[in-house]
Amino acid sequence: MPINELAAKYLETFEQNEEFPDGLSFRDELTHANLDHSRESLARIDQLLDRIRTRLSPDPEEFLRDYANQTFLYLLAFYVGTVTARQSGNGVDWYSYGEMLAVMPDNKAFVPQSFASSVTCIIQKKGFFIPLASIQERLFEEPPTKSVAFSASGFM
């Protein structure tokens, strides 16, 4: 499935309260975060990630072995990119790492292949964005130095 369609499918599946094939970690917490596509909802994602980090102190490698956790992170990335694009009045185009390099080969020098770069996007008229980078740092780094809301605000 093309990644733009996958992004739309993830968001639709969550909004329709349907099940994800590999599960979705933290569904109740996501619902409680009131993901209403507002700019403020991005700050609520920071707060959600802070609560999970504080409560679980997750190890990145162990956390990413669980597909339901990967789904959680991808859903957040697709949500953050989509909200950022909407708030800026622009569209968003999603790329896997390989697709991104095909479009922007110079990125190989400064964007290493990792889970964080497995999903990237271009906010039309704004630029290249890696939403998973700030999401992962907020979840795994203690203390976090990145904010999802702040990272997204640079594209709005």
Model pLDDT for residues 51-62, shown as the tens digit of each residue:
999 999 999 999
Contact of 95 with 132, CB cutoff 8 Å: no
Burial of 90 (0-12, 13-18, 19+ CB in 10 A): middle
pLDDT higher than threshold 80 for residue 5: yes
C-alpha torsion angle, residues 92, 89, 135, 117 (rounded to 10) = 20
Model pLDDT for residues 23-63, shown as the tens digit of each residue:
999 999 999 999 999 999 999 999 999 999 999 999 999 99
Q: Which domain holds residue 60?
A: 3-153
For the chain, how many structural domains are there in total? Answer: 1
Q: Is the C-alpha dihedral spanning 66, 81, 3, 16 positive or negative?
A: positive
Q: Which residues contact 151 (CB under 8 A, 6 or more apart)?
A: 129, 131, 133, 134
Q: Which residues contact 107 (CB under 8 A, 6 or more apart)?
A: 100, 101, 128
What is d(CA 26, CA 30) in angstroms, rounded to the nearest whole number? 6
Q: Of the given ranges (47-56, 67-76, 136-145), which has the lowest mean pLDDT?
A: 136-145
